[in-house]
Structure 1
Amino acid sequence: MSELRLEDVTVRFGGRRRGLTAVERVDLTVPAGSVVGLVGESGSGKSTLARAAVGLTPIAGGAILLDGQPLRHHTRGRRPLQMVFQDPYSSLDPRMTVGASIAEALPRGSVRGRGARQAEVARLLDLVALPADRAGTYPAQLSGGQRQRVALARALAGRPDVVIADEITSALDVSVQGTVLNLVRDLQRRLALSMLFISHDLAVVRYVSDYIAVMHLGRIVEYGTADDVLLDPQHPYTRELLAAVTGPVAAPPAVLDGEPADPQHPPTGCRFHRRCPQGPLVLADREVCRTTEPVADGHRHRAACHFAAPDTTEHAERVDVPVDAAIDPRSTR
């Protein structure tokens, strides 16, 4: 088990004049042996942050630490971070068999001999609830759910300390999503993995996560334990995401501007204030939201909102976010 920590991470594309800051000064910790669910709408910077963590996208500032030490992405040997991508078909080489794809990810020198490699591939396939004879098939011969299991096996073949799963269920049929989520949760517990699980769907994130981080326009706007964030969301954006799953708990004023702000030209102050049902476009005395950027310190769940409550109020009622848990993860549909 290892702790992944991102400190003040910034990712920028392009030049100074026409560039885009996709991730800005993000602090995020994935505690050892825990799952952190990172949730936010499309374009919020989730996948960019994930790619930066595994070294696929360079960072413009900040640091990425594994157990307190700067993370170095080696081209050979074991890679401590492994990523599972959204589309399992495009992430697997269609010209390679399943077994060859998994074997290719084994750290150099970790398994010697053809027989030992075949045995290790069979073990990894069994971990993801696929029979050993799937090693001889090609990705095109498998269903979407089976391909995603192969992608999970390939990530585990690298013997990572941390797994980053980026929208791994969004390309799958709803019934298959449940089997993959059950599998992910089972693997994380059995192998004591640290995991950053990314999704735009708060229901999916709640099902597998110990902690939840909410991202909006390149910044983390709320972070806490899954129960705390769902029981008592402090940021209006988190409440909007939760209402999309459960229905609104109360009837807030309508969001005045349903479109996200332009990430190339984010608004001053709170980046959510133009859409906020409790912001200055609804409540005239909240002009501070237009002018001053909120800070997370001192607010419950580290919510970056001027009007988030301090961490003193007790919670009374749990908000259930249902996900079908009664699906056999060994289904190979």
Structure 2
Amino acid sequence: MSDLVFDAVSVRYGGRRGLTAVDQVGLTVPSGQVVGLVGESGSGKSTLARAAVGLSPISGGRVLLGGVDVRKLPRRRPLQMVFQDPYSSLDPRMSIGESITEAIPRDVLSGRAARRDEVARLLELVNLDPDRAGHLPGQLSGGQRQRVALARALAGRPEVLIADEITSALDVSVQGAVLNLVREVQQRLGLSMLFISHNLAVVRYLSDIVAVMYLGRIVEAGPAEQVLTDPQHPYTRDLLAAAPSAHTSLFDTGTDAATADTEPADPHHPPPGCRYHTRCPIGPLARADRELCLEADPAVDAARRRHSAACHFSENESHRSHQPAISRGATAP
């Protein structure tokens, strides 16, 4: 197994004056571990994932797997992705057995019988009856289709698996079962995984490391237990405070009223200085003397701070109390 490394990766659309969806992101997915990437919709999470598998253009930096640029890897890449919508990621005219067989590398298994046996093994691995190999995706439930999508990704013999919001399109009743399956498969195969979600409870359940993304940048990253119990960046604290729990209602976010309803800045024209200062409850909106947030980019020296927090005043504010963190339960949320 090898580390997956995002080395100052940028993704731009529309040239220099267009949208920078991902801006100089540095992130490592260590071998055999799960990194949970969390943030609001539009923060750049999915774009970063798509850049890793070659579906979004990398305009700056590199994505490295085992020290090798993924753009230089052979066609059979040891990097596979499971997408959010299992129905759109599967060909509705192909049986699930055909879809999985198509993903099996021919240099690994070439005989028809061997490939049929491999399909059966993969279906059993994701807790599906091998007899379903002849079914079409439309004959399966959403949870079953997502299991097929996972089996198809595993058919490529990956070292790293990227899962992009894989439970958000599923009924709540089956989300937990799919999450349990993902964790079981990851541990059994020793896969490295980048798990993307906006749900902090889900990320906490699966992840060894948590990275928080805002407006195309990583604003905080560290061991999951530390980040979610002692967050350093105000955006991470706001995400935690907004997550419904036994301590808060769906309508009581616990965040400052002046910032809770503030929309994110325009990603086409991100604000100077700290990108979060237009919403930040500890920045110039609340403290007029903190003009530094308007002028200097805290990402420049983030490495010196705990969890590499991109916040000038994280060390001043981290001792303050915040909403109770999401605890790790014995079962999936």
How far apart are residue 318 of structure 1 and its match? 7.7
Aligned to 2:11: 11
Gapped runs of 5+ residues in structure 2? none
Report what 1:190 is aligned to. 188
1:267 matched to 2:236? no
After superposition, the Cα gap between the structure-2 partners of 1:27 and 1:326, relative to the gap in structure 1 and judged at 3 Å, is closer
How is 1:152-167 mapped onto 2 (pairs within 5 angstroms)? 152-167=150-165
State the Cα distance separating 1:251 from its structure 2 match.
5.5
Aligned to 1:48: 47
Counting only pairs closer than 5 Å after superposition, residues 287-302 of structure 1 correspond to structure 2 as: 287-295=291-299, 296-302=302-308
What TM-score comes out, normalization by structure 2 length? 0.92
CA distance in 2, matches of 1:81, 1:285: 47
1:12-42 per-residue CA deviation (whole Å, 9 max, x = no partner) reads: 000223x100000100000000000000000
State the Cα deviation string for residues 91-114 of structure 1 (Å, max 9, x = none): 000000000000000012211211
User: Which residue is 1:116 aligned to?
Assistant: 114
Query: Would you say the 8 A contact 2:29–2:35 is kept in 1?
Result: yes
Q: How far, CA to CA, are the matches of 1:297 and 1:276 in structure 2? A: 21
2:311 to 305, 310, 314: 305
- Deviation track 1:111-142 (CA, whole Å, cap 9, x = no partner) reads 12111111000000011000101101000000
**Cα separation, partners in 2 of 1:129 and 1:255, compared to 1, 3 Å:** farther
User: One-letter code of the match for 1:4?
Assistant: L
Is contact 1:253-1:278 (8 Å) kept? no
Mapped to 2, the partners of 1:45 and 1:251 lie a distance apart of: 26
Q: Alpha carbon RMSD of aligned pairs, Å?
A: 2.2
User: TM-score scaled by structure 1?
Assistant: 0.92
1:286 aligns to 2:284 (yes or no) = no
Give, in angstroms, the shift of residue 230 of structure 1. Answer: 0.7
**Is the counterpart of residue 243 in structure 1 residue 241 in structure 2?**
yes
Q: Does residue 1:147 correspond to 2:150, yes or no?
A: no
Give the number of equivalent residue pairs. 322
Q: Which moved more, 1:144-153 or 1:248-257?
A: 248-257
SS at match of 2:87: helix
Alpha-carbon distance change, 105 to 250 in structure 1, aligned in 2, over 3 angstroms: closer
Aligned residue runs from structure 1 range 49-64, under 5 A: 49-64=48-63
Cα gap change, 1:211 to 1:255, in 2 (>3 Å): farther
Q: Distance in 1 between matches of 2:214 and 2:57?
A: 20
Contact 2:120 2:133 in 1 (8 A): yes
Distance 1:74 1:34 in 2: 22
The aligned residue for residue 130 of structure 2 is 132
Task: Kindly state the Cα deviation for residue 209 of structure 1 after the two structures are TM-superposed.
Answer: 0.4
2:21 maps to amino acid = A
Task: Work out whether residues 5 and 29 of structure 1, in 8 Å CA contact, stay in contact via their aligned partners in 2.
Answer: yes
CA shift, 1:166, in A, is 0.4
Identical-residue share of aligned pairs (%): 67
Letter in 1 for 2:134: G
Shift in Å at residue 67 of structure 1?
1.4
Consecutive unaligned residues of structure 1, counting only runs of 5 or more, are 328-333
Does 251-260 or 30-39 show the bigger shift?
251-260
* Maintained 8 Å contact 2:242/2:254: no
CA contact (8 A) 1:40 1:46 kept: yes
Q: For residues 213-252 of structure 1, give each alpha carbon's deviation from its aligned partner in whole angstroms, at most 9, with x where no partner exists.
A: 0000000000000001011000000011111224579955
Instruction: Show CA shifts across 1:33-72 (max 9, x none).
Output: 0000000000000000000011111101101111122223
Give distance in 2, aligned partners of 1:30 and 1:255: 36
Instruction: Show the counterpart of 2:27.
Output: 28
Distance 1:244 1:250, change over 3 A: closer
- 1:330 maps to which residue? none
The change in CA–CA distance for 1:73 and 1:318 in structure 2 (over 3 A counts) is farther
For the 8 Å contact 2:240–2:325, the answer to whether it is kept is no
Amino acid at match of 1:282: A
Contact 1:294 1:304 in 2 (8 A): yes
Task: Check the 8 A contact 1:253/1:282 in 2, yes or no.
Answer: no
Does structure 1 conserve the Cα–Cα contact (< 8 Å) formed by 2:242 and 2:253? no
